Amino acid sequence: MSSKSITTAEKHEASPGELNQRVEQLRKKIDSRNESLAAAQKSQSQLATERETLVLPARVEGDAGAQKRLREIDTQLVGVRRDISDDTAAVAELGAQLAAAEQAVELAEWESRRVAVRELLNGLLKRRQRANLEKAAEGLLTALTAAAEEDKEAFSALISFEPALRGAAIELLHLSRLRAQILAAKLFKVLPIDLSGYELGRLRDQEMRDYKYYEAAVEALDQMELVF
């Protein structure tokens, strides 16, 4: 239902269940009046048919019995026509009440759904997921920065010890980019990260194996020999 036709300012004292009961009651009343109306219309038709057969003997032939029955029919038709008129008016009024009751049900149900959505939003508003995301981003930045500093420290230590280890040491300085690429591939679906199809396929399932570069540096260090 459009909020243009129903505003949240409109309140309802009756519950949707109570309003639905009212609708059912009105429908039963309408059914009852329709049955009464149909019976009256049938009676009117039968009386009118019978009356047609009595006009000639009563008016032309002077049949006293026919004349008496004709008067009885005319009296009955007055009451039947009144019943038809009253039932027709009653059905119309009950129909208007039913339409209003059905609208009230629709409005109450709409309001109930609105309240449920509002409660959900208020509940989500009180949660801390947004703050958790910010903390996670800050934590990730801190971790990546600390890891990059460790890479630089390891690079400096290797070069200071033996410049010949520069080949293994320089690989450690590439780890910051590798870590960023792997994380980007893992967050590709939830962040606006620009990766080519090749990069995404290559990095999506790759684990953070930066330790292997450190293992390679240690191996290169262990293979060093002091030459006199």
pLDDT for the residue 198: 52
Mark which of 125, 145, 168 sits at the end of a domain. 125
Q: 138: burial class by Cβ within 10 Å (0-12, 13-18, 19+)?
A: exposed
Residue 190 and residue 152 share a domain = yes
Residue 197 and residue 153 share a domain = yes
Domain-embedded: residue 85:
yes
Residue 135 and residue 120 share a domain = no
In angstroms, the Cα distances linking 138 to 45, 108, 143, 165, 211 are 88, 46, 9, 34, 23
Domain-embedded: residue 134:
yes
pLDDT for the residue 177: 85
Residue 164 and residue 106 share a domain = no
Mark which of 96, 125, 154 sits at the end of a domain. 125
pLDDT for the residue 14: 76
Identify which of 26, 45, 46, 22 has the alpha carbon closest to the alpha carbon of residue 34.
26
Residue 143 and residue 215 share a domain = yes
Domain-embedded: residue 184:
yes
Domain-embedded: residue 167:
yes
pLDDT for the residue 86: 96
Residue 26 and residue 63 share a domain = yes
Residue 139 and residue 85 share a domain = no
Domain total of the chain: 2
pLDDT for the residue 126: 79
pTM of the full predicted structure? 0.54
169 is in which domain, residue-wise? Answer: 129-222
pLDDT for the residue 190: 67
pLDDT in tens, the chain (228 residues): 444 343 443 444 678 888 999 999 999 999 999 999 999 999 999 999 999 999 999 888 888 999 999 999 999 999 999 999 999 999 999 999 999 999 999 999 899 999 999 999 888 877 777 778 888 889 989 999 999 999 999 999 999 999 989 988 998 998 888 888 888 777 766 666 666 655 655 665 556 677 788 888 899 888 887 655
Phi, psi of 156 (to 5 degrees): -65, -40
Residue 142 and residue 53 share a domain = no
Residue 143 tokens read as: 């971790």
